[in-house]
Amino acid sequence: EVLLRMHSVGICGSDVHYWQHGRIGDFVVKEPMVLGHEASGTVVKVGAGVTHLKPGDRVAIEPGVPREMDEFCKMGRYNLSPTIFFCATPPDDGNLCRYYKHSASYCYKLPDNVTFEEGALIEPLSVGIHACKRAGVTLGSKVFVSGSGPIGLVNVLVAKMMGAAAVVITDLSASRLQKAKELGADFTIQVKNETPQEVASKVESLLGCMPEITVECTGVQACIQAGIYATRSGGTLVLVGLGPEMVTVPIVNAAVREVDIRGIFRYCNTWPVAIALLASQRINVKPLVTHRFPLEKALEAFETTRRGEGVKVMLKCDPTDQNP
């Protein structure tokens, strides 16, 4: 293990959801819990046997740490391990604090040209990497991203990076779609009160064809329906956003057109990839951060996220640091 002085911690929709509702699905908050799982910091102290890190190293933290070497870990899909530790998922505490200890193997050294803030953004970026890999994005892919929140936006970044020829993104908010455009989306659709079929046909007319890949980042029933209708026969729909447990979808439409529906659960093996992309400046996540608060103003930061202002709200846990 290593002890870290925390630096930057991003606020996620799930943090806000636990704060507001005390549960997400089967994960129920039963006692006080520290939030935060998008984080970076500086190594203060290393445990015996830790050789790849030393005090003073700047690191990004992968929040999911398997507790045992089970069948999923052996397959390399450790994110599916049922006993995994995960920051800010009850009953495990997160890292929105001054000091935090974590498994050394899940702390990754940041190169000098990657900032603490970028280090904290590796967590949401990882969702995009994992989703686009599961979707099979490749050279020339036409991609439909549903939802332009932080996760929709990282999927735009990663899809373009992986060779997508055209990406169309939908949202209710014009300002979020503007941000998507800045990050490389080719087309945007501001959804008002169109039916799922109407959204699907708008996607098709903008792309000039139906997309082979749809990445659904809202969890909203109508959006999942639109995702099925929009995806080309033989294509893939990846469900990233989580909404109600039971959703009504045109499953027969998907089945007879051989549209593969895949889920994702967080990510695995993405931190080294993300660090390589950031260090080589092949991907720019900096525009995602729109608000910054010191740890003392955490409540204000959470309120800002809850109201849906900006994109990514970042908390600064190290009062000695003057840099953004």
Amino acid at 130: H
> How far, in Å, CA of 227 to CA of 203, rounded?
10
Q: Where are the beta strands (DSSP E) in 110-259?
A: 142-146, 166-171, 187-190, 213-216, 236-239
Judge whether 185 lies within some domain: yes
Indicate whether 19 and 87 sit together in one domain.
yes
User: Do both 149 and 243 map to the same domain?
Assistant: yes
Give the N- to C-terminal CA distance of the chain in Å, as an integer: 28
**What total number of domains does the chain contain?**
2
Same domain, 102 and 154: no
pLDDT in tens, 116-157: 999 999 999 999 999 999 999 999 999 999 999 999 999 999
In which element (H, E) is residue 101 found?
A: strand 99-102
The verdict on 102 and 133 lying in the same domain is: no
Do the beta carbons of residue 80 and residue 265 sit within 8 Å? yes
Give the count of beta carbons closer than 10 Å to the beta carbon of residue 321: 13
Q: How confident is the model at residue 324 (pLDDT cuts 50, 70, 90)?
A: very low
Per-residue pLDDT reduced to its tens digit, 214-265: 999 999 999 999 999 999 999 999 999 999 999 999 999 999 999 999 999 9
- Is residue 234 located within the same domain as residue 138? yes
Rounded to 5°, angle at Cα 136 from 131 and 140: 120
62 token code pair: 């992968």
Instruction: Assign 136 to helix, strand or coil.
Output: coil
Tell whether 235 is covered by a domain. yes
- The answer to whether residue 323 sits within a structural domain is no
Task: Residue 170: give its domain's CATH number.
Answer: 3.40.50.720
Q: What range defines the domain where residue 148 resides?
A: 129-263
Do both 87 and 176 map to the same domain?
A: no
Nearest-angstrom CA–CA distance, 53 and 58: 9
Residue 22 is part of a domain; what is its CATH number?
3.90.180.10
pLDDT band of 319, cuts 50, 70, 90: confident
Residue 242 in any domain: the answer is yes
User: What does pTM read for this prediction?
Assistant: 0.96
Identify the burial level of 286 via C-beta atoms within 10 angstroms of its C-beta, where 0-12 means exposed, 13-18 middle and 19 or more buried. exposed
| DSSP bridge pairs for 107 | 61
Angle at 58 between CA 277 and CA 90, to 5 degrees: 90
Are residues 137 and 79 both part of a single domain?
no
Q: Are residues 144 and 222 in the same domain?
A: yes
Domain identity same for 229 and 134? yes
CA 18 to chain centroid, in Å, comes to 17
- Mark whether 172 and 214 lie in a shared domain: yes
Instruction: State the sign of the Cα–Cα–Cα–Cα dihedral 157, 159, 163, 168.
Output: negative
Same domain, 226 and 133: yes
Residue 323's pLDDT band, with cuts at 50, 70 and 90, is low
Written as six digits, the tokens of 307 are 């109201």
